Amino acid sequence: MDEYRDKILKVCNASSKNTLMQTLDIEYVEIGENFLVGKMPVTPKVHQPDGVLHGGAMVALAESVGSMASYIFMDAQKYFVRGIEISANHVKSIKSGEVFAKAIILHKGRTTQLWDIKITDAEGQLISICKLTTIAIPKE
């Protein structure tokens, strides 16, 4: 099973080439039955002017991980996945290190999916909590 999960993560990370995910150095690092985890380094390129992680970078991380999770758990041969709504509450700032976004599915409908995405630091302290709604659009 670990070999299968590693293969999925490899495909996810390869799909990030020449995208915002590559620009932000987002890497998908863990997958389970109903979740996906991605990480992003906190460096000056994702800071706001006062030197802390920009809220927009956190939202981009959350939407990237949640959308990729939706893509994984839907039939990607039949559907495009798009984010249609995201909300974020930033509860703590961070200046350096890494942040981890864990997307857990709350609702998996045929058309829409609802994701709970918690962003934490390396010690597991909550930095931000996001809710993402995605939609599965038939390719035909």
Which residues are part of the catalytic machinery?
Answer: 63
Token digits of residue 98: 């890494």
Furthest C-alpha separation in the chain: 47
Q: Which residues pair with 134 in a beta bridge?
A: 83, 113
Alpha-carbon dihedral angle through residues 61, 64, 70, 74, given to the nearest 10 degrees: -150
> Residue 1: which residues within 8 A CB-CB, separation 6 or more?
none
CA nearest to 28, candidates 97, 86, 88, 101 = 101
Beta-strand pair 97-108/112-121: antiparallel
State whether residue 13 is helix, strand or coil.
helix
Name the residue type at position 129. Answer: I
